[in-house]
Amino acid sequence: MQTVDTVIEARWVVPVRPRGAVLEHHSVVIDQCRILAVLPSVQARQQFTAARHWALENHAVIPGLVNAHGHSPMSLLRGAGDDLALHHWLQERIWPLERAIVSPAFVYDGARLAAAEMVRAGITCCNDSYFYPAETAQGLRSVGMRAVVGIMTIDFPSRYASDADDYLRQGLAARDALADDPLVGFTLAPHAPYTVADATLQRIATLAEELDLPVHIHVHETADEVADAMRNLGCRPLDRLDRLGLINERLIAVHMTQLLPSEIALLAQRGAAVIHCPASNLKLASGIAPLADLLRAGVCVALGTDGAASNNRLDILAEAYLAALLAKGSTGDATAVPAWQALECATLNGAQALGLGARVGSLETGKEADIVALDLSAIENQPVYDVTSQILYSSGRKDVTHVWVAGRAVLEDRVLGGAENPTLADDVLRAAAPWHNQIRQKLRQSASLPTDAANGTASSSSSRLSNHDKG
């Protein structure tokens, strides 16, 4: 018999690829961080002996969930700006708070809090965009997650950087510093077309090609954003990005609630990815991305939570559930985005959007072992006829019991950190508590901090950049 690191024996294995497959009484064999085999459990017992053997008789095993868009440090701002429209939420609440409190320690502690929540929800990889990317990456990694971190760029100053050049310089330095961690990757992350000028976007397009990095950007998030661009620049934001050479296979376009059929066709033709954030977009009344149309056109669509300040939960299974229902309701077609396809958006599509599709996103031989186990024995999950439908429509993060990232158990029997670090959850909460007190004090001082205290003169940033670009 061959000795391996880990064997996970489960009632069901849902590998995602082949599409729609469900393997009953199968095992996933892991050695040296990678999947060595996926085979019937009877055969696994005959062929392998493992240092760790997990017998999960009531569980479904799926690939690790991918949160393809988030702002993890903003978990410390959860609930600090609820029930506000995007413009007011961002400029009158979030940016002023960030101006007052954001620091490397805030980012690290917030990222750890988010990572703890995400791992408990079965999320093994997060694509993040925020200030202090090195601290973001370190916070996510401290809980065991795989991290893709944005080199965030915006054309006005913050506590982190003075201008676009400074954002890029510090972000690229963080990338260099973390180059030896195989579970950390980077994107170039200009905030949005309305906060980043043409010259900066052109530089980012050049860097993306030179460094072979994805470009992660909020775009077509609201109808007002598109209308403002038409009024100030005479073109839609995607037209502008296309003119600047950014619509290609490296583009990760977040939100995309406002799309014309011709724009969907362009995205498909160029191989761009779209990140659908249904809960955040609904909560901010931003709109609904046309998921069914995008998928039908062949666009790679992944799912994101956005930050906890606008969601307020970091739960990709909940996003997949909501995405499927919205697709059915908005199209009038109950067959739109079936359960297997929504799960694909939550796993393999997220990996592919981030350039990780060859490494994670499905349970296939040779891939790194990012794996989640869900216990389907609870009353709420019975009976089970179609396990993929059960995962999507009945189960949830409460059912996640085990999580492995690159073969390492980071959640065991619902204990964060597992046997290796069983006090991790307490440590995360202890570090987050002082920030709660600071932010609560700021909110008590003013129900809405002055807009001009934001990162630069936020209220005028859109028109300022638009006028500059027109010139």
Which domains are assigned to the chain? 2-63+371-405 (2.30.40.10), 65-353 (3.20.20.140)
Q: Residue 269 has what pLDDT?
A: 98
What phi, psi does 271 have (nearest 5°)?
80, 20
Residue ranges of the chain with per-residue pLDDT less than 50: 448-471
Across-strand partners of 3?
49
Query: Can you give 1-43 as a three-state secondary structure string?
Result: CEEEEEEEEEEEECCCCCCCCCEEEEEEEEECCEEEEEEEHHH
Is residue 281 within 8 A of residue 255, CB to CB? The reply is yes
Q: Residue 446 has what pLDDT?
A: 61
* CA-wise closest residue to 323 among 310, 306, 304, 309: 304
* CA-wise closest residue to 94 among 256, 311, 276: 311
Is residue 372 within 8 A of residue 391, CB to CB? The reply is no
The residue whose two tokens read 């958006």 is 345
What phi, psi does 189 have (nearest 5°)?
-130, 70
DSSP class per residue in 190-240: E--TTTS-HHHHHHHHHHHHHHT--EEEEES-SHHHHHHHHHHHSS-HHHH
Q: Residue 462 has what pLDDT?
A: 37
Q: What is the pTM of this model?
A: 0.94
Q: Residue 311 has what pLDDT?
A: 95
* CA-wise closest residue to 227 among 194, 180, 190, 270: 194
Q: Residue 123 has what pLDDT?
A: 99
Sign of the CA dihedral with 36 first, then 37, 42, and 46 last: negative
Token pair of 284 as six digits: 């901010």
Amino acid at 263: E
Half-sphere exposure of residue 393, counting CA atoms within 13 Å on the CB side?
Answer: 16
